[in-house]
Chain A
Amino acid sequence: MKNLIAGAAMALMGLAGAAAADGHANYPERPIMLMVSYGAGGATDFQARIVTMTAGNEDALGMPIAIINKPGAGGRVGWNWFASQAEADGYTMGAYNIPHFIAQSIEGGVSYGADSFEPIANWGADPAVFVVAADSPFNSMGDVVEYAKENPGKLTFSGAGLFVGHHIAALQLEKAAGVKLAYIPSNKGGAGAMKSVIAGEVLGGVNNLSDAFRAREAGNVKILGVFDLERNDFLPDVPTLMEQGFDIDNASVNFRGVMVPKGTPQGIIDKLAATVPAMFENSRVQGKMKAGGSPMHIMTRDEVLEMWAAREETLKELLAGL
């Protein structure tokens, strides 16, 4: 315990020294705002509230973080505001969703791109999964693709919308299996897409792992595959698409984390990049996230920068044909 405290104190002193050089020694001096570009009650909002709940602790930022929701147009409203109007003073942070905002910037019509923002740290990774209703005849991705081959263009499956992770997963599946499918975007997000699977309006669906896990616990759906590089701790029995013979990587995984607008002083970015990942590792945060069925995946600023660049490249290639 003593060692821990000493270590923390040393780290703090080191930080204070580095920050002082830039004149941001006392940052933060007042509460910080975190903009979430989805509505209250959504998965991003819910997780953002949990991972920031310990921000006021002395070993974290020492100041609380308040969540502000700016929902609309699949996140475009919030991110447009963040890129063009948010103050770059370190007191305005934003939550990002990958691949959503990068896919939207490739599609066009918005005033942001990957270079409008400075990532701080990543807190979660929610892979897309393929779900079918509990009474569906499909029991593996092989069954699904076989049906699609026999009935080209007739396999209807739902997802949260266009240019979001679910849509990317759908495009990857079409490409890897070489079949034509009917992707039906929902206007009510993942919850609406899940409802149409359970109600039998569509034959299957791509959905968030966390929501699908809950629906499976409730006995409403079967999960046939994970769109990720490896199996997930929440679903050790569900194979990845790769294992089932489809060449699909993790481009559709929904990464969530915090960022600041371009132009925020480097001293503040450095300080946040050093403290925020540790804040996410807090045991209370980890406990609450696990209880809520939300997979965590903590990444530092450098790792996120690399991931953003890689994603942009993959998505440009995937969306070029649309």
Chain B
Amino acid sequence: MEFLFYFGDVFTPFNFGLLLIGTIGGLILGATPGLSPTMAVALLIPFTFKLEPAQGLILLGAAYTSTVAGGAVSAILLKIPGAPANIATTLDGHTMAQKGQGARALQLSFLASAVGGVFGVLLLIFLTPVLAKWALAFGPSHLFWLAILGVTVIGSLDGSSVVKGLLSGCIGLWLATVGFDDIMGAQRFIFHDAVAGGINVIPALIGLFAIPQVITMFAKGRARLDAEVLSVEKHPIGKALKEVASRGRALTIGTITGSIIGLIPGVGGQIAGLVAYDQSKKLSPESRKFGTGHPEGVIAAESANNAMVGPSLVPLLTLSIPGSPTAAVLLGGLLIHGIFPGSDLFDNYPDVAWTFINSMLVGQILMCIFGLYVAGLAARVAQVPNNVMAAVVLGLAVFGSYSVQNSMGDVYVMAALGTGMYFLERFGFSAAPLVLGLILGPIAEANFIQGSMIANATSSVGQYFFTGALNLTLIAIVVLSVAYSVWMELRARRYTTKDEAVAKEEALS
């Protein structure tokens, strides 16, 4: 209960002002495509040089929380996921926005974010010592199986066809091998300087999701100019509150999956949203509605990616190991004030540590309030005429890809992948499995190589990867996940013909 003692520090005028600035600034930065939470926090570090340690961390903590939630805005309204955490949000969120329910989708996403986020921070407050052990439990073999579990999600992520989902997942896995390999430094498929460093996930995300949409909008052009005035439904906040409360299953699955996966160093943040989306789809009696603008899809994805924020800081605060790129940037923010995080952080600097954690708790609530306030206004974006919208999205896509590492090469990668995806979509392939392959490929590969190096030196590969309770549990979940997909496939015989793909396209546009 020690954290209650330091709650007052959050509400001193200056600290609270910083919290407001961090939250509002974070929402804006998060809503800008290409500015991931890591970038946003890194941009703010220089401002903390002049502040007290606790004040600096309030600013950084608030910005981290609200950029993660802010990413939902561009995911829902523009179909550009700002960071890998928001991929799953586009699946149902953008479809809702196209139906004129953008305000409802945004309200649901902010409410779900706040519930997930508060739960995650509470875990950080009460269970840190237990969680620290859990974070260390995942070695190379376990991370490998976890990545394989992610691969099994690929098949079921695309609602229309398992085979096409798997195929586009394979394209993603192949793209992931481009560049210098992570461990041995071998060069693979480097046919142009722009891909020497591998394909960066964020430009790829922007290209794969935004560009096909831009081309579609331009292709429709002036022919149907008259038909494009979309009415945006107003949606009272009270109704959104009731709806979130009534979708308890999606909210619970999202929050719990997000907290558990967020804890695992190096993997969590990127796939928490997608795994939670997939789980709540599989466990829902209305699983057919997912992908067609079902509110539960938005709720599961957004509660998961904010639930991950709290637990993702556990390895940093207790073991001094940054578990994610954002945590690494926060570590810099601590070191600059001479504070070494570690198991004694809470004894040596209780004021700094608890004020930081409390500010994330209050930040979640503030983020939700401001988010709900802008949701109604932001949803009007859907009324912008197609040709204007296409130009704006294209501009943001170029800006977002360039800003990741100030490289024109990333812009070329974004444009090339996006154009390719436009044609793939014509044949019924979708972007989400492809991106998942791109994210999981390096995790699976690097951990397999590391694991087998350790295994060869100590025991044998078979023993290293197939014994131990955690390995066996993960393998069992993988088998179950595959069996479930096969069973669903046999029962429903899902497949897509060209006509259906065209029909789906027509319905959406």
- Whether B450 pairs with A187 at a CB distance below 8 angstroms is yes
Residues of B437-486 at the interface with A, using a CB-CB cut-off of 8 Å, are 442, 446, 450, 453-454, 456-458
- Whether B450 pairs with A186 at a CB distance below 8 angstroms is yes
Tell me if A320 is interfacial: C-beta within 8 Å of chain B.
Answer: no
Tell me if B369 is interfacial: C-beta within 8 Å of chain A.
Answer: no
- Whether A80 pairs with B193 at a CB distance below 8 angstroms is yes
Contacts of A214 in B (CB 8 A): 320, 340, 342
Q: Whole-angstrom distance between the alpha carbons of A109 and B185 in the complex?
A: 10
Given contacts A39-B325, A40-B38, A192-B266, contact A215 B335 (CB under 8 A): no
- Whether B340 pairs with A217 at a CB distance below 8 angstroms is yes
Tell me if B400 is interfacial: C-beta within 8 Å of chain A.
Answer: no
- Whether A73 pairs with B185 at a CB distance below 8 angstroms is yes
Nearest B residue to A53, CB-CB: B49
- Whether B454 pairs with A41 at a CB distance below 8 angstroms is no
Tell me if A69 is interfacial: C-beta within 8 Å of chain B.
Answer: yes
- Interface hit among B104-112, B115-123, B176-184: B176-184
Q: Tell me the count of chain A residues lying within 8 A, CB to CB, of chain B.
A: 56
For B179, give its contact among A72, A84, A217 (CB under 8 Å).
A72
Q: Distance in Å from the Cβ of B386 to the closest Cβ of chain A?
A: 36
Nearest B residue to A211, CB-CB: B320
- Whether A40 pairs with B185 at a CB distance below 8 angstroms is no
Q: Whole-angstrom distance between the alpha carbons of A68 and B43 in the complex?
A: 11
Q: Whole-angstrom distance between the alpha carbons of A178 and B179 in the complex?
A: 35
Q: Whole-angstrom distance between the alpha carbons of A243 and B344 in the complex?
A: 32
Interface residues on B, range: 35 or more
Q: Whole-angstrom distance between the alpha carbons of A214 and B319 in the complex?
A: 10
For B185, give its contact among A74, A217, A220, A292 (CB under 8 Å).
A74
- Whether B180 pairs with A291 at a CB distance below 8 angstroms is no
A-B pairs, top 7 by smallest CB distance, nearest first, are: A218-B342, A72-B197, A291-B338, A41-B328, A73-B180, A182-B457, A77-B197
28 sample A-B contacts, Cβ–Cβ < 8 Å, listed by A number: A39-B325, A40-B329, A41-B38, A41-B330, A41-B331, A46-B332, A46-B336, A70-B197, A72-B179, A72-B180, A72-B405, A73-B185, A76-B180, A81-B407, A156-B454, A161-B183, A182-B454, A184-B453, A184-B454, A185-B450, A186-B450, A191-B322, A191-B328, A198-B136, A198-B319, A214-B320, A218-B340, A293-B335
Tell me if A30 is interfacial: C-beta within 8 Å of chain B.
Answer: no
Q: Whole-angstrom distance between the alpha carbons of A104 and B319 in the complex?
A: 32
Q: Whole-angstrom distance between the alpha carbons of A141 and B103 in the complex?
A: 64
- Whether A41 pairs with B332 at a CB distance below 8 angstroms is yes
- Whether B325 pairs with A41 at a CB distance below 8 angstroms is yes
Given contacts A202-B454, A215-B320, A219-B342, contact A41 B42 (CB under 8 A): yes
- Whether B458 pairs with A156 at a CB distance below 8 angstroms is yes
Residues of A whose CB lies within 8 Å of any CB of B are 39-42, 45-46, 49-50, 53, 68-74, 76-77, 80-81, 84, 104, 107, 109, 153-156, 161-163, 182, 184-188, 191-192, 194-196, 198-199, 201-202, 214-215, 217-220, 288, 291-293
Tell me if B291 is interfacial: C-beta within 8 Å of chain A.
Answer: no
- Whether A185 pairs with B332 at a CB distance below 8 angstroms is no
Nearest A residue to B446, CB-CB: A187
Contacts of A192 in B (CB 8 A): 266
For A41, give its contact among B193, B200, B265, B329 (CB under 8 Å).
B329
Contacts of A45 in B (CB 8 A): 332
Tell me if B139 is interfacial: C-beta within 8 Å of chain A.
Answer: yes
Contacts of B137 in A (CB 8 A): 199
Among B140, B328, B337, B457, chain A packs the most CB atoms within 10 A around the CB of B457
Contacts of A69 in B (CB 8 A): 405-406
- Whether B319 pairs with A153 at a CB distance below 8 angstroms is no
Contacts of B406 in A (CB 8 A): 68-70
Among A40, A186, A188, chain B packs the most CB atoms within 10 A around the CB of A40
- Whether A218 pairs with B320 at a CB distance below 8 angstroms is yes
Q: Whole-angstrom distance between the alpha carbons of A80 and B315 in the complex?
A: 34
B140-152 Cβ-contact flags toward A at 8 Å (1 or 0): 1000000000000
Nearest B residue to A217, CB-CB: B340
Residues of B59-91 at the interface with A, using a CB-CB cut-off of 8 Å, are none
Contacts of A163 in B (CB 8 A): 185
Q: Whole-angstrom distance between the alpha carbons of A42 and B38 in the complex?
A: 12
- Whether B198 pairs with A292 at a CB distance below 8 angstroms is no
Tell me if B352 is interfacial: C-beta within 8 Å of chain A.
Answer: no
Contacts of A184 in B (CB 8 A): 450, 453-454, 457
Contacts of A71 in B (CB 8 A): 197, 405
Tell me if B39 is interfacial: C-beta within 8 Å of chain A.
Answer: yes
Given contacts A39-B325, A186-B450, A288-B336, contact A72 B136 (CB under 8 A): no
Tell me if B371 is interfacial: C-beta within 8 Å of chain A.
Answer: no
Residues of B whose CB lies within 8 Å of any CB of A are 38-39, 42, 45-46, 49, 136-137, 139-140, 179-180, 182-185, 187, 193, 196-198, 200, 265-266, 315, 319-322, 325-326, 328-332, 335-338, 340-344, 405-407, 442, 446, 450, 453-454, 456-458
Given contacts A41-B329, A153-B457, A198-B321, contact A73 B197 (CB under 8 A): yes
Contacts of A217 in B (CB 8 A): 340, 342
Q: Whole-angstrom distance between the alpha carbons of A76 and B179 in the complex?
A: 11
Contacts of B38 in A (CB 8 A): 40-41
- Whether B196 pairs with A72 at a CB distance below 8 angstroms is yes
Q: Distance in Å from the Cβ of A251 to the closest Cβ of chain B?
A: 19
Nearest B residue to A69, CB-CB: B405
Q: Whole-angstrom distance between the alpha carbons of A77 and B405 in the complex?
A: 11
Nearest A residue to B445, CB-CB: A187
Contacts of A46 in B (CB 8 A): 332, 335-336
Contacts of A77 in B (CB 8 A): 196-197
Q: Whole-angstrom distance between the alpha carbons of A45 and B326 in the complex?
A: 14
Q: Distance in Å from the Cβ of A144 to the closest Cβ of chain B?
A: 14
Nearest B residue to A220, CB-CB: B319
For B198, give its contact among A70, A72, A161, A199 (CB under 8 Å).
A72
Contacts of B321 in A (CB 8 A): 191, 194-195, 198
- Whether B454 pairs with A218 at a CB distance below 8 angstroms is no
Known interface pairs A41-B329, A182-B456; 13 further A-B residue pairs with C-beta atoms within 8 A, sorted by A's residue number: A41-B326, A46-B336, A49-B332, A70-B407, A109-B185, A156-B458, A162-B185, A182-B458, A184-B450, A184-B453, A215-B342, A218-B320, A218-B341
Q: Whole-angstrom distance between the alpha carbons of A209 and B407 in the complex?
A: 32
Q: Distance in Å from the Cβ of A273 to the closest Cβ of chain B?
A: 26
Q: Whole-angstrom distance between the alpha carbons of A217 and B349 in the complex?
A: 14
Contacts of B322 in A (CB 8 A): 41, 191
Contacts of A195 in B (CB 8 A): 136, 265, 315, 319, 321
- Whether B139 pairs with A199 at a CB distance below 8 angstroms is yes
Q: Whole-angstrom distance between the alpha carbons of A231 and B139 in the complex?
A: 33
- Whether A293 pairs with B340 at a CB distance below 8 angstroms is yes
Q: Whole-angstrom distance between the alpha carbons of A110 and B415 in the complex?
A: 26
Nearest A residue to B186, CB-CB: A109
Nearest A residue to B322, CB-CB: A191
Q: Distance in Å from the Cβ of A280 to the closest Cβ of chain B?
A: 17
Q: Whole-angstrom distance between the alpha carbons of A93 and B410 in the complex?
A: 22
Among A71, A76, A182, A195, chain B packs the most CB atoms within 10 A around the CB of A195
Given contacts A73-B180, A194-B321, contact A49 B46 (CB under 8 A): yes
For B337, give its contact among A73, A187, A202, A291 (CB under 8 Å).
A291
- Whether A199 pairs with B197 at a CB distance below 8 angstroms is no
Contacts of A162 in B (CB 8 A): 183-185
- Whether B338 pairs with A292 at a CB distance below 8 angstroms is yes
Q: Distance in Å from the Cβ of B314 to the closest Cβ of chain A?
A: 13
- Whether B180 pairs with A220 at a CB distance below 8 angstroms is no
Nearest B residue to A45, CB-CB: B332
